[in-house]
């Protein structure tokens, strides 16, 4: 390590090099430090604490100057760096964590020392070794010497692994995906995290009280039906009440008592009001504890929740969120949708919300090339009613609600490689009936059957599934000796190209929306992404133009044989805008 007085000279020397490594650390609202690695024999390692002596503004200006030259900056976790200092989007920045994720999306984590060893053949201390095998401490609680070594080694890992990793991405055909979709997405997600979303605390309190009252009413109904009070949250006590005292059918005895899992209770619920109440009780108590009672703890001093958007978690390429997870708010039940009422725009602002209509089915139609499904979409008819009409051989106008509901289940089930058993469970029909539904579906859309079978065979040959944009998802289960695991692998082989392509498309849309909002000088900003939905907050006077921009960029994110459709709404809460 060298004295801080060297920093100016070091940065000026770095611009003469083709590449250098950098890492960053952030704690709360305060940037802690920067690690810097200049490749050489031996490499030069530096630690720059951002404590006033060297400001983030100064370092940002220096990095901007460096990026105007030819140097490539290799980074481990660029989003962490963007939390410390503002850097404009640049194709000269290479994040090895994102590169490693694309090359092996099944990993649970991507430690810097493993990436240095795997891609650069370099053995360096791991975080566990640096901190004595203990859990990584919060940055604010790290000793400066520990932080210096940690960030410097991380920067060295980045500059060591970047070159070989880029070569590997090029060899696998994923460098374009990396450079054009995943790396720009870092800036999009960083902006969303920085913006956050406003929460009405009083609405949270009201929601908690409302849910509590509803739960209390349901509790009393359950106790009355059971003839006694018991712990509804205890599977053991609940099992005794349902399957011994009330003698309900379907009891499955385990080592710890009767199973009261959701799938067991859902079979009983249509005929037993008490069981339906128990399922509702579980949903409401989860909503209350997970959201109404817990969200307040995430609200920061600015009155907003700044969720973390995770780019390197899911194997399919979808974005996830945490601290808190805003993507799991249930919207199929009204009580779940009510949670969205607590999320509001700033005064004088409004939300514009858009989500893709049936994007995975549209992707399936386009990728399979099935003429019947493509034509159904081009005629802009109700796709589920159209499918029901063709599968059940009845005129479009005479399709019943039940037939449409069943066709909808098959439509979406096919995307996920659903089996006759799974469909029979979902529709409460016999396995034979479910098999007949699936058979009729494939008779109606024969090219889909050929396409899905081809996906499985291709994945067996090469060991991975692939999206339209080249994203790969390894499927080791396909060669497993266990039948159940192989069957799972086949479903993954069918679904991953479809779900992954949909994930790629919404990432493209997010990047395009962010860039246009910035380029055209709007105050509006993208603040949230949930599955196939994007949420923008902005001044009311920008609403019309921003809504048009949002729809345009989502619809044109990909050029498919079936047009993409985005439904745009607005409102003064997330609930109103959805």
Distance CA 136, CA 542 (A): 45
pLDDT at 249 over 80: yes
Same domain, 326 and 404: no
Taking only the tens place, the pLDDT of each residue in 310-344 is: 999 999 999 999 999 998 888 777 888 889 999 99
Domain boundary among 169, 195, 221: 195
In a domain, 28, yes or no: yes
Is the separation of the CB atoms in 52 and 4 below 8 Å?
A: no
**CATH number of the domain where residue 231 is located:** 1.20.1060.10
Same domain, 419 and 465: yes
479 and 518 in a single domain? The answer is no
CA 107 to chain centre: 16
Residue 82 shares a structural domain with residue 209? no
DSSP string over 47-113: EEETTTTS-HHHHHHHHHHHHTTTPEEEES-HHHHHHHS-----TTEEEHHHHHHHH-TT-S---HH
Q: Output 537 or 21, whichever has higher pLDDT.
A: 537
Residues 20 and 136 in one domain: yes
Structural domain of 454: 360-495
- Residue ending a domain, among 175, 195, 215, is 195
Counted domains in the chain: 4
pTM: 0.90
The DSSP letter of residue 67 is H
513 assigned to some structural domain: yes
Query: For residue 1, what pLDDT is reported?
Result: 40
CATH code at 339?
3.30.70.370
Q: What is the Cα Rg of the chain in Å?
A: 27
Q: Are residues 32 and 133 in the same domain?
A: yes
In the predicted model, what is the mean pLDDT of residues 412-417?
A: 79
Shared domain for 70 and 177, answered yes or no, is yes
Position 475 pLDDT exceeds 70: yes
Domain with residue 455: its CATH number is: 1.10.150.20
Residue 423, preceding bond cis, omega within 30 degrees?
Answer: no
Of 495, 524, 542, which residue sits at a domain end?
A: 495
* pLDDT at residue 77 greater than cutoff 60: yes
Q: Collapsing DSSP states into helix, strand and coil, what is residue 348?
A: coil
Residue 51 lies in a domain: yes
Same domain, 181 and 236: no
pLDDT exceeds 70 at position 106: yes
Q: Is residue 545 part of a domain?
A: yes
Cα separation, 536 vs 350, in Å, equals 8
Q: Kindly give the pairing relationship between strand 93-95 and strand 72-75.
A: parallel
| pLDDT for the residue 268 | 87
Instruction: Please write the tens of the pLDDT for every residue from 149-168.
Output: 888 898 899 999 999 999 99
In a domain, 218, yes or no: yes
Angle between the N-to-C axes of helices 431-444 and 420-427, in degrees from 0 to 180, rounded to the nearest 10: 110
Statement to judge: residues 162 and 210 lie in one domain:
no
Looking at the fold, whether 68 and 186 belong to one and the same domain comes out as: yes
**Residue 423 binned pLDDT confidence (cut-offs 50, 70, 90):** confident
- Tell me if 313 is assigned to some domain: no
**CATH code at position 11:** 3.30.420.10
> Which residues on adjacent β-strands are paired with residue 355?
533, 567
**Whether residue 336 is found in the same domain as residue 436:** no
- Using left for φ > 0, alpha for ψ between -120 and 50, and beta otherwise, residue 278 falls in alpha
pLDDT number for residue 72:
80
Rounded CA-CA distance 406/392 in Å is: 10
**Residues 80, 109: Cα–Cα separation, whole Å:** 16
Q: Is residue 314 part of a domain?
A: no
Residues 443 and 550 in one domain: no
In a domain, 227, yes or no: yes
């Amino acid at each position: 390590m060298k004295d801080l007085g060297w920093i100016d000279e070091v940065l000026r020397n770095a611009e003469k090099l083709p590449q250098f490594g950098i890492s960053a650390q952030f704690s709360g609202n305060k940037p802690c430090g920067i690690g810097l690695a200049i490749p050489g024999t031996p490499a030069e390692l530096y630690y720059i604490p951002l404590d006033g002596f060297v400001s983030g503004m100064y370092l940002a200006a220096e990095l901007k100057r460096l990026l105007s030259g030819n140097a490539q900056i290799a980074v481990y976790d660029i989003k962490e760096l963007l939390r410390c200092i503002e850097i404009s989007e640049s194709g000269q920045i290479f994040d090895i964590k994102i590169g490693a994720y694309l090359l092996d999306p099944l990993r649970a984590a991507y430690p810097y020392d493993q990436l240095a060893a795997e891609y650069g053949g370099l053995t360096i201390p791991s975080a566990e070794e640096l901190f004595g095998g203990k859990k990584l401490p919060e940055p604010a609680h790290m000793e400066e010497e520990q932080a210096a070594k940690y960030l410097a080694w991380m920067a060295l890992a980045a500059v060591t692994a970047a070159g070989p990793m880029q070569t590997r991405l090029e060899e696998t055909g994923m460098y374009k995906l990396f450079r054009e979709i995943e790396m720009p997405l870092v800036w999009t997600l960083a902006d969303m995290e920085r913006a956050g979303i406003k929460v009405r605390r009083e609405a949270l309190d009201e929601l908690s009280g409302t849910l509590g009252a509803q739960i209390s009413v349901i509790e009393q109904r359950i106790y009355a039906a059971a003839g006694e009070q018991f712990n509804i949250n205890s599977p053991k006590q609940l099992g005794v009440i349902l399957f011994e005292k009330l003698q309900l059918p379907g009891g499955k005895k385990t080592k710890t008592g009767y199973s009261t899992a959701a799938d067991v209770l859902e079979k009983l619920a249509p005929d037993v009001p008490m069981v339906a109440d128990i399922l509702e009780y579980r949903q409401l108590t989860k909503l209350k504890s997970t959201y109404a009672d817990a969200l307040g703890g995430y609200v920061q001093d600015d009155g907003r929740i700044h969720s973390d958007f995770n780019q390197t978690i899911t194997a399919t390429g979808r974005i996830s969120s945490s601290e808190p997870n805003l993507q799991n708010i249930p919207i199929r039940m009204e009580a779940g949708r009510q949670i969205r009422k607590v999320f509001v725009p700033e005064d004088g602002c409004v939300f514009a919300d858009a989500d893709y209509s049936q994007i995975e089915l549209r992707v399936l139609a386009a990728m399979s090339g099935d003429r019947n499904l493509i034509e159904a979409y081009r005629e802009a008819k109700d796709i589920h009613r159209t499918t029901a009409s063709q599968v059940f051989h009845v005129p479009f106008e005479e399709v019943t609600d039940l037939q449409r509901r069943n066709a909808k289940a098959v439509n979406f089930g096919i995307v996920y490689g659903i089996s006759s058993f799974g469909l029979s469970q979902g529709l409460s029909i016999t396995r034979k009936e479910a098999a007949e539904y699936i058979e009729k579906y494939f008779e109606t859309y024969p090219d889909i059957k050929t396409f899905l079978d081809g996906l499985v065979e291709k994945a067996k040959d090469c060991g991975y599934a692939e999206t339209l944009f080249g994203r790969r998802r390894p499927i080791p289960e396909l060669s497993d000796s266990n039948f159940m695991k192989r069957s799972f692998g086949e479903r993954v082989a069918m679904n991953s190209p479809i779900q992954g392509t949909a994930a790629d498309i919404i990432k493209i849309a997010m990047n395009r929306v962010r860039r246009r909002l910035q380029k055209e000088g709007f105050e509006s900003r993208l603040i949230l992404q949930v599955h196939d939905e994007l949420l923008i907050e902005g001044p009311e006077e920008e609403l019309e133009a921003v809504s048009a921009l949002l729809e345009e960029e989502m619809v044109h994110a990909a050029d498919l044989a079936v047009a993409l459709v985005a439904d745009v709404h607005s409102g003064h809460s997330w609930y109103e805008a959805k």
